[in-house]
Structure 1
Amino acid sequence: MSNIRSLFATRLYHARLSELGKTAVDQEELETSCFAIAEEDGAGQDWCQENGYPGYTSYASLTDLPWRFPIFKDLRKTLDKHVKAFAEDLEFDLDGKKLKLDSLWINILPEGGIHTSHIHPHSVISGTTYVTVPPGASAIKFEDPRSAMMMAAPTRLPEAREELRGFIYVTPEAGDVLLWESWLRHEVPMNMAEDDRVSVSFNYGWG
């Protein structure tokens, strides 16, 4: 009898931010803080303009959000718990060490804005928590990491099982957190909503 197994799984963690942690993260305060920082961060605004980045990101300008604003300190504590749970699911041998937050940044994507395909080098786990997701806002798109090695393989059927598809679209809600291994290529297609799509992204390293 034939035996067909799935090998080398790519795991995606999807949860409500509020599921773990004793410290509640106030979504309204988090949204207000994101917009306040964006308005005051001249260096970040300049970087976005110089690099053709739509909307705003603090990625290249601010590296100490948990120190600047208590709400981001609360967020870090909660993210630590989610990342720990995901690392356990991945069965990482961390040799007694912990995965630690090494970067955290704000993304404000306006109508028509996109975030092109990319990975997060030098990190172990990356992710995003969603602050504001207006109706019609773009999903996040994940790419099968084997794409470059498929050579002459035919495309998949439209109704193919999720684990066999070349791309997976996940539509989050405000208050969700998504985690994935940092080598997984992903992008944010064009935001078709009239309102801003606001999120906070992050990387965790080892050691």
Structure 2
Amino acid sequence: MAHIRSLFVTRLYRAALAEQGPRIDAGQLEASCLSIAEDDEAGQDWCEANDYPGYTSYASLSDLPWRFPIFADLVSALDAHVAAFAEDLEFNLDERQLKLEDLWINILPEGGFHSSHLHPHAVISGTTYVAMPEGASALKLEDPRSARMMAAPPRRKQAREELRTFVYESPAVGEVLLWESWLRHEVPMNTSENHRISISFNYSWS
């Protein structure tokens, strides 16, 4: 009898942020993100110059945990989630830890999107979700083998999740998603009239 098994599994971590670290008030976190976006003129200028739809602090603020206590609490929670994911991935970290490399705010208005990308030079990347109104876009994850499939036919519409070319993950407010940084992903267009707000981050090993 034939024996078929899956090899080289891609892992996705999903959990409530509150499962680890200090309690973080969701309303306060959302208010902080909006206040920072309003005051961050350098970030606004960068977004305008680069035709970025909405707002990101990625190119302007690299010290959010130092500036705002609520982001320091957020990092404490993320550190614990990332450690749990690294354990699941069975990384041999040689008695070192994965450390936060950068953390930034994303605010996508109606029509805003993030095109397909990955995060080079990091080990684990992720996002925690601050505001996800009805109609806000899911996270779209791409099969990392896509570029090597060459002449492969398309998958059936109802193919098993692990065989699909794309998987759409619809997180809730207060959840955190983690994946290995080489996994290509994107945020399709936000069709909600309200802002989709998230905080993304990278962890490196050094």
TM-score between both structures, scaled by the size of structure 1: 0.99
Between the aligned partners of 1:105 and 1:136, the Cα distance in structure 2 is: 23
Alignment of 1:71-90 (within 5 A): 71-90=70-89
Query: How many matched pairs?
Result: 206
| Correspondence for 2:5 | 5
Q: Which amino acid aligns with 1:9?
A: V
Offset at 1:24?
0.5
Between the aligned partners of 1:35 and 1:47, the Cα distance in structure 2 is: 17
Q: Which amino acid aligns with 2:46?
A: W
Between the aligned partners of 1:39 and 1:182, the Cα distance in structure 2 is: 29
CA RMSD of aligned residues (A): 0.5
Between the aligned partners of 1:58 and 1:44, the Cα distance in structure 2 is: 6
Between the aligned partners of 1:125 and 1:27, the Cα distance in structure 2 is: 24
| Correspondence for 1:200 | 199
Between the aligned partners of 1:110 and 1:10, the Cα distance in structure 2 is: 31
Between the aligned partners of 2:183 and 2:30, the Cα distance in structure 1 is: 27
Offset at 1:25?
1.0
Q: Which amino acid aligns with 1:3?
A: H
Secondary structure of the structure 2 residue equivalent to 1:173: coil
Secondary structure of the structure 1 residue equivalent to 2:27: helix
Offset at 1:176?
0.7
Q: Which amino acid aligns with 1:149?
A: R
| Correspondence for 2:14 | 14
Between the aligned partners of 1:155 and 1:186, the Cα distance in structure 2 is: 19
Offset at 1:20?
1.4
Between the aligned partners of 2:191 and 2:96, the Cα distance in structure 1 is: 42
Moved over 6 A (4+): none
| Correspondence for 1:28 | 27
Offset at 1:198?
0.2
Offset at 1:172?
0.7
Offset at 1:173?
0.7
Between the aligned partners of 1:67 and 1:29, the Cα distance in structure 2 is: 17
Offset at 1:201?
0.2
Identity value in percent: 69
Matched, 1:98 2:112: no
- 5+ residue gaps, structure 1: none
TM-score between both structures, scaled by the size of structure 2: 0.99
